[in-house]
């Protein structure tokens, strides 16, 4: 295809986003479709089933490539390593039925916002819009840029001015109708999938299709009882799966349905404000927020007034968050980047609870609808549950490769059978049936299901330990974790902070420390004013609620906060302000109280917060700021900052204290000033430094033992925090993350400023070669401080690029992005299951981390064990059946039933019940099926089994009592000896050939059956990842019971047993020989598996002799650094190259800041 044609045929959907997709245009061809329909009929639906599994093949067969503008079918392909295809039909949205007033001129706008994609998508004069829907999001065809664009949200290019002036007065009724038709309803609709659909989808799974084929074959050969047993088990399995999926569907539907029909007040230009159901809202609508508590049905930008919301549904942390209105700005910058302030402070997210509204004098609290339906924050979370990101874990890819290998072995068996049966001139129908039967024996259809048994039991054990999981497939991945990142505050240290002291500053000198432990109330002064007012606390249900740090700081002032509804009736301050007053225990405060008029809330990116206040009864306005000491002092006048500031700060941070700086500025503003229109940049300057607030952040009791356990297990621990570096380093040393004797190198990165390029400075903390500095830091860094939420996510991603399996443990608030990005994100939350991360621990300490790794390792080892067992079980049956085929015989119906149901099925269900070993081993279990130890295990055990079965098959023919054709089943009485027939089978004239009855079958059946029990025992290894086998009482008793039953069937002389099991009587000595063969096989198998293949020291020696080195990126860099004489660099400053021409902006920081 030519380059231009290829560009028209192919495009990217959501470029550079997490859900990026490639799209291809196709046009349906009538003749091709007719041929495909004929193919469906002639193949009895097999071709249709193939197209169901492979949608890309369906499109390629039915359609021809064309440019996207003409396409009626779109083929989508993910851009990740899975390259998954999806087929979507292009639909038309007809606007003509709306009776639009403007329809003639081609230049006329249907949407007042001239930049809206809707204007560019309407085809004139037809008044139609082309659209596709992908993962619940609607995309429409933009005629100007010739690509599909997302609808359902306001354009990010709108400036603050645009938001206020384009949408501040509401939309017209006509524009609402157009937007509603094009964008769809504002509803997060999760249908309760009908049972017949779930059943249909489950039955069409390749596993069940293969099983249906197998059962049909078995039934045709008369294996009725066995087939019926498998059918019953399959029906139960399908029923349980469908029930589970249905329950999940109902639960998710109920979770979102209540928010789809919320009554809201919306305003339009031509009809004013009126009540309507929330699903009628469209982007650009004006939403009026009532004073009562309610849930938000959409994402909206606050434009008038303020409010306090609970974002616990999104973050897992139920702390009131203050939202401020979007400022009126005249510049043309996009509204999200109008200033350095975090834009999330202006956005009300769908699904969050509005606790309190703060109307201004202009009128009620108003917001512009930003996003609707599945475009919202809540919709995005629901979509992540409906369409989980596939995990790239080698286990599942290797399992597929392994099944292909077994299939090839089955094909060899098929060819072997055809040769044998053709040589004996058997009918074609019988030859085909027996060949297909041997083919199905080699591939146990339960292999895919077996890989999940360990996960199911591990998930149940985790739930009993208050660790909940919404992504079970990640449990196996937890077994491979070799690096864990921890947030500091609330994760490694206690959530609540104890105030240790205040170091006031006057005249650019630090004063004596005020200790809060003394019990003496804090005397009035500007530091006291800052502590009493510079916070985001609120009064709710007569209780002060908010950030734990703010609460502790405010409590130490002995001041009181009044409920805004009662306080404002007695004062002349605005209704939206918060009033704080001296309490009865304060020391002679010469003020009646302070009104907090305007808040510039705390942001992780800005590392500070500010408030504008006014003393009650006075006209003086003050600005108070608190935040990171380095940040706050940068806004202060240099002459007010003590000369020994750095030294004093270091004294406390090196002791592990958390330090916050306070600052103040008297504002000279008139009475008529509009505080709501003030930007923080206008007032946050020329501040006076007030002092340092010292807080004690104690380690949790569980932190040090857990980190020591991880260190012993050679699992790297890393701290990622927004706090001061010195404080973080001290906490790392106290917790054992960094050895007390280790030398710590401080690496400080500076952004480019003007002509000065970005730089990295290296120096020893005690003293406080341009070789891919970023990677060397990633490989060796232990503490990453002053990290924003977006930078945390970015850091996790960089670790993953170095082939680390990364776990992340945080409190779920600032860490949402990092928790989702990690292979295993664990949120410490009181909620049962937080959508903020795959795992949630209700126990708020890091003990859950080793627990999860232990269970992950146990589940992974169990999956490997069951997989190996099923593979060997299939190969054992394959070899046994192939030997019997040599003389045109086969195992009996009940013999298969015994092996498959009584032995194998029960083993698969109970083998994974063995619990995780309580101590973490200093190495990980293998994470690949296609690896030398596992392949050798399968090959050697297959060889041992083959030798045993061939020996039994050949030796029985050498016995003096052997006969090819026999008719007797029961053994003679003890006083009579077994009749020895003629070796040519002439002892009994009535002897007839049998497809089952033979001495070979009677010998091979106990060998194969008991060998399955031997393999189950051998593969159920305990230490170092699971407890010993005897602790799994159910499995141990089951193996003993199965062995007892098999020995009973081997040695019992009961006619009914022989008849039912289709066995022949053999001399007791031969049965003893069979037992000896099995015992030798057990000893050899146990020695090979336990002493050779599971011998870690032996494999390390082999690796050393073969000079094998890990191919993981982080290992390669570690080896490089070991050989680098200049590592680690000290007292050095490295500058970025070409920084003047190109500055890298991390896209994750940009997009994930909202997390």
Question: Which two structure tokens, joined as six digits, stand for 696?
Answer: 């004690």
Max CA pair span of the chain = 124
How far apart are alpha carbons 851 and 863 in whole angstroms?
Answer: 18
| Residue pair 104/43 in contact by the 8 Å Cβ criterion | no
| Residue pair 76/134 in contact by the 8 Å Cβ criterion | yes
Closest CA to 837 of 852, 855, 857: 852
Pairing verdict, β 783-784 and 716-720: parallel
Question: Which two structure tokens, joined as six digits, stand for 553?
Answer: 């700081």
Question: Which two structure tokens, joined as six digits, stand for 524?
Answer: 């009035």
Number of C-beta neighbours around residue 464 at 10 A: 8
How far apart are alpha carbons 784 and 799 in whole angstroms?
Answer: 13
How far apart are alpha carbons 471 and 1126 in whole angstroms?
Answer: 44
Closest CA to 282 of 134, 175, 196: 175
Residue whose token pair is 């099991």: 1061
Using alpha carbons, list the distances in angstroms from residue 427 to 8, 220, 293, 889. 57, 15, 80, 15
Cα dihedral value 158, 159, 164, 167, nearest 10: -10
Question: Which two structure tokens, joined as six digits, stand for 867?
Answer: 């997989």
Closest CA to 131 of 90, 177, 95, 94: 90
Inter-axis angle of helices 645-653 and 725-735, to 10 degrees? 20
Between vectors from CA 1064 to CA 1058 and to CA 1068, what angle results, nearest 5°? 100
How far apart are alpha carbons 410 and 782 in whole angstroms?
Answer: 52
Instruction: Please indicate whether residue 113 is annotated as part of the active site.
Output: no
How far apart are alpha carbons 443 and 439 in whole angstroms?
Answer: 7
How far apart are alpha carbons 50 and 38 in whole angstroms?
Answer: 15
Helix (H) or strand (E) holding 878, with range, is helix 848-885
Residues 6+ apart with CB under 8 A from 48: 40
Query: Cis (ω within 30 of 0) for the bond into 125?
Result: yes
How far apart are alpha carbons 598 and 536 in whole angstroms?
Answer: 10
Burial annotation 742-780 (CB, 10 A radius, 16+ → b, else e): eebbbbeeeeeeeeebbbbebbeeeeeeeeebebbbbbb
How far apart are alpha carbons 680 and 625 in whole angstroms?
Answer: 11
Three-state SS at 815: coil
Q: Quickly list H helices, 168-295.
A: 173-183, 195-203, 206-220, 224-257
Length of the chain: 1155
Residues 6+ apart with CB under 8 A from 72: 26, 27, 28, 89, 90
Question: Which two structure tokens, joined as six digits, stand for 801?
Answer: 């690029």
Residues 6+ apart with CB under 8 A from 565: none
Tell me which of 113, 299, 487, 815 is the catalytic residue: 487
Surface-to-core class of residue 897, CB atoms within 10 Å of its CB (0-12 exposed, 13-18 middle, 19+ buried): buried
Between vectors from CA 9 to CA 6 and to CA 12, what angle results, nearest 5°? 95
Three-state SS at 607: coil
Q: Quickly list H helices, 347-393.
A: 377-386
First CA to last CA distance, the chain:
43
Residues with active-site annotation: 487
């Amino acid at each position: 295809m030519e380059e231009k044609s290829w560009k028209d045929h192919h495009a990217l959907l959501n470029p550079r986003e997490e859900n990026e997709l490639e799209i291809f245009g196709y046009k349906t061809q009538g003749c091709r479709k007719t041929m495909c329909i004929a193919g469906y009929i002639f193949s009895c639906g097999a071709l249709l089933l193939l197209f169901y599994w492979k949608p890309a093949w369906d499109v390629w067969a039915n359609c021809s490539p064309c440019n996207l503008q003409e396409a009626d079918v779109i083929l989508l392909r993910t851009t990740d390593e899975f390259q998954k295809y999806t087929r979507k039909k292009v639909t038309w949205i007809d606007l003509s039925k709306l009776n639009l007033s403007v329809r003639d001129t081609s230049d006329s706008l249907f949407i007042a916002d001239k930049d809206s994609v809707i204007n560019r998508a309407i085809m004139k004069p037809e008044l139609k819009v082309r659209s596709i829907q992908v993962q619940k999001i609607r995309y429409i065809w933009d005629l100007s840029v010739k690509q599909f664009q997302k609808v359902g949200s306001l354009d990010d290019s709108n400036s603050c001015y645009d938001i206020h002036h384009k949408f501040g007065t509401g939309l017209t009724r006509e524009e609402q109708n157009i937007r509603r038709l094009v964008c769809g309803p504002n509803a997060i609709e999760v249908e309760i999938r009908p049972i017949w659909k779930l059943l249909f989808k489950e039955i069409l799974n390749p596993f069940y299709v293969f099983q249906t084929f197998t059962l049909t074959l078995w039934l045709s050969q008369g294996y009725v009882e066995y087939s019926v047993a498998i059918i019953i088990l399959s029906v139960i399995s399908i029923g349980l799966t469908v029930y589970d999926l249905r329950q999940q569907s109902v639960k998710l539907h109920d979770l979102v349905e209540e928010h789809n029909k919320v009554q809201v007040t919306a305003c339009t230009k031509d009809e004013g404000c009126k009540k309507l159901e929330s699903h009628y809202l469209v982007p650009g609508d004006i939403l009026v927020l009532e004073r009562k508590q309610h849930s938000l049905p959409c994402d909206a930008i606050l434009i008038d007034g303020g409010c306090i919301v609970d974002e616990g549904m999104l973050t897992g942390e139920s702390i009131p968050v203050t939202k401020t209105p979007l400022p009126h700005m005249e510049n043309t910058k996009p509204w999200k980047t109008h200033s350095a302030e975090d834009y999330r402070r202006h956005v009300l997210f769908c699904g969050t609870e509005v606790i309190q509204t703060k109307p201004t004098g202009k009128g009620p609290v108003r917001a512009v609808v930003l996003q609707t339906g599945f475009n919202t924050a809540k919709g995005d979370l629901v979509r992540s549950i409906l369409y989980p990101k596939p995990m790239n874990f080698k286990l599942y890819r290797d399992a597929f490769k392994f099944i292909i290998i077994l299939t090839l072995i089955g094909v060899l068996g098929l060819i072997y059978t055809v040769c044998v049966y053709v040589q004996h001139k058997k009918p074609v129908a019988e030859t085909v049936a027996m060949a297909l039967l041997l083919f199905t024996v080699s591939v146990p259809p339960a292999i895919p299901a077996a890989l999940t048994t360990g996960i199911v039991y591990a998930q149940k054990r985790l739930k009993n330990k208050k660790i909940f999981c919404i992504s079970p497939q990640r449990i196996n991945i937890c077994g491979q974790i070799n690096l864990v990142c921890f947030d500091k505050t609330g994760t490694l240290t206690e959530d609540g902070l104890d105030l240790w002291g205040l170091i006031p500053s006057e005249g650019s000198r630090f004063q004596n420390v005020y200790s809060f432990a003394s019990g003496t109330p804090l005397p009035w002064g500007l530091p006291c004013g800052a502590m009493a007012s510079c916070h985001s606390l609120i009064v709710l249900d007569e209780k002060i609620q908010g950030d734990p740090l703010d609460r502790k700081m405010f409590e130490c002032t002995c001041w009181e906060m009044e409920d805004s509804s009662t306080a404002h009736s007695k004062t002349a301050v605005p209704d939206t302000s918060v009033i704080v007053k001296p309490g009865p225990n304060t020391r002679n405060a010469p003020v009646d109280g302070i009104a907090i008029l305007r808040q510039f809330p705390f942001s992780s990116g800005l590392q500070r917060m500010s408030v504008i206040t006014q003393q009650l009864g006075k006209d003086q306005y003050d600005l108070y700021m608190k935040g990171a000491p380095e940040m706050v002092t940068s806004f202060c006048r240099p002459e007010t900052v003590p000369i020994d500031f750095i030294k004093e700060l270091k004294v406390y941070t090196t002791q592990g204290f958390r330090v916050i700086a306070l600052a103040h500025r008297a504002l000279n503003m008139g009475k008529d000033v509009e505080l709501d229109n003030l930007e923080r940049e206008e007032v946050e300057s020329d501040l006076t430094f007030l002092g340092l607030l010292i807080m004690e952040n104690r380690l949790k009791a569980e932190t040090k033992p857990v980190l020591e356990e991880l260190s012993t297990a050679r699992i790297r621990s890393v701290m990622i925090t927004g706090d001061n570096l010195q404080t973080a380093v001290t906490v790392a040393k106290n917790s054992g993350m960094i050895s007390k004797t280790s030398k710590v190198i401080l690496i400080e990165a500076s952004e480019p400023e003007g002509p000065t390029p970005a730089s990295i400075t290296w120096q020893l903390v005690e003293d406080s070669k341009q070789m891919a500095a970023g990677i060397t830091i990633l490989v060796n860094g232990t503490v990453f401080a002053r990290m924003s939420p977006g930078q945390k996510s970015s850091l996790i991603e960089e670790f993953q690029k170095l082939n680390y399996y990364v776990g992340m443990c945080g409190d779920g608030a600032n860490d949402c992005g990092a928790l989702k990005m990690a292979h295993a994100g664990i949120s410490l939350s009181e909620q049962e299951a937080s959508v903020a991360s795959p795992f949630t621990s209700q126990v708020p300490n890091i003990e859950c981390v080793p627990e999860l790794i232990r269970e992950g390792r146990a589940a992974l080892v169990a999956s490997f064990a069951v997989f190996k067992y099923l593979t060997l079980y299939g190969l054992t049956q394959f070899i046994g059946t192939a030997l019997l085929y040599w003389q045109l015989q086969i195992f009996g119906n009940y013999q298969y039933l015994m092996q498959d149901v009584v032995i194998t099925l029960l083993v698969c269900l109970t083998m994974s019940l063995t619990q995780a070993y309580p101590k973490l081993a200093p190495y990980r279990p293998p994470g690949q099926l296609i690896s030398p130890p596992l392949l050798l295990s399968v090959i050697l055990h297959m060889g041992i089994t083959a030798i045993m079965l061939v020996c039994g098959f050949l030796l029985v023919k050498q016995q003096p009592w052997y006969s090819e054709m026999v008719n007797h089943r029961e053994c003679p009485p003890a006083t009579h000896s077994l009749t020895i027939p003629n070796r040519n089978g002439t002892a009994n004239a009535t002897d007839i050939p049998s497809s089952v009855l033979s001495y070979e079958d009677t010998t091979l059946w106990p060998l194969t059956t008991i060998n399955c029990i031997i393999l189950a025992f051998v593969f159920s290894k305990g230490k170092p990842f699971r407890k010993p086998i005897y602790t799994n009482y159910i499995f141990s008793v089951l193996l003993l019971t199965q062995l007892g039953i098999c020995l009973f069937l081997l040695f019992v002389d009961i006619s009914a047993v022989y008849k039912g099991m289709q066995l022949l009587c053999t001399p007791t000595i031969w049965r003893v020989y069979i037992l000896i063969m099995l015992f030798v096989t057990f000893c050899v198998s146990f020695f090979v598996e336990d002493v050779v293949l599971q011998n870690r020291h032996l494999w390390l020696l082999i690796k050393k002799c073969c000079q094998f080195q890990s191919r993981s990126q982080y290992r390669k860099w570690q080896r490089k650094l070991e050989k680098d004489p200049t590592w680690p660099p000290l007292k050095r400053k490295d500058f970025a190259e070409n920084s003047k021409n190109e500055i890298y902006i991390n896209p994750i920081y940009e997009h994930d800041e909202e997390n």
